[in-house]
Amino acid sequence: MRKIYCIVFLIVVILGLEQFYNPKTKAFTQPAVTLSKASFLPNFDNLLQNHPDTLTWKLLGDIKFVKKKDKTYGEVQFPVVNTKLRLTNKRKVAMSGFIVPIDNKNYALSKNVFASCFFCGKSGPETIAGIKFRGETPKLRTDQYVTIVGTFRSNESDVDDWIYHIEDAVIVKGAK
């Protein structure tokens, strides 16, 4: 079977080169259009914009905490984000969850509905991500289930901030 593949490959190469062979001069000619190596590579920026990484709450929940001293609060549990999420930092992502209002202008995306969100005592801080919307903040309902696309950012050093953020966010599913 391997020999057949090799023969087919050689035939394809020969037929491909035949178009550049000049039988009168018995030499190969340059193609009319030269293609750079880069023209064969896909546009990765465009692929990223159209196909963001999808983050799951299971992946965000794969987190460890370590005790460290903090100037303001004394000894505090600091998050240690897993390697996959570190690699996703500052990349475009898609995520689904429930809208939880923080105040009149700010929202978070939660794994759970408002009644079970982390500041009500049922879950940890890794089950929520702060949202900064692109442009004007849309009108949203509590517990509205949405899918958003935006830039992911994690935080392992500021105990007064969310562990996870979705910035420049746009709702792609679930908005009314």
Look at 13 and 24; give whichever has higher pLDDT. 24
Closest CA to 59 of 96, 108, 114, 113: 96
Burial of 118 (0-12, 13-18, 19+ CB in 10 A): middle
CA separation for the pair 14, 6 (Å, rounded): 12
Name the pLDDT band for 37 (thresholds 50, 70, 90). Answer: very low
Q: Which residues have C-beta within 8 Å of that of residue 27, sequence separation ≥ 6?
A: 21
**Residue-level pLDDT at 152:** 96
Closest CA to 94 of 52, 146, 144, 64: 52
Token pair in block for residue 81: 């984000």
Token pair in block for residue 171: 């709702």
Q: Which residues have C-beta within 8 Å of that of residue 122, sequence separation ≥ 6?
A: 112, 115, 116
**pTM for this model (two decimals):** 0.67
pLDDT in tens, 84-100: 999 999 999 999 999 99
Report whether pLDDT(18) > 70: no
Look at 82 and 36; give whichever has higher pLDDT. 82
Closest CA to 144 of 175, 168, 165, 170: 175
CA separation for the pair 71, 57 (Å, rounded): 31
Question: At which residue do the structure tokens 């490959």 appear?
Answer: 9
Token pair in block for residue 6: 């090799």
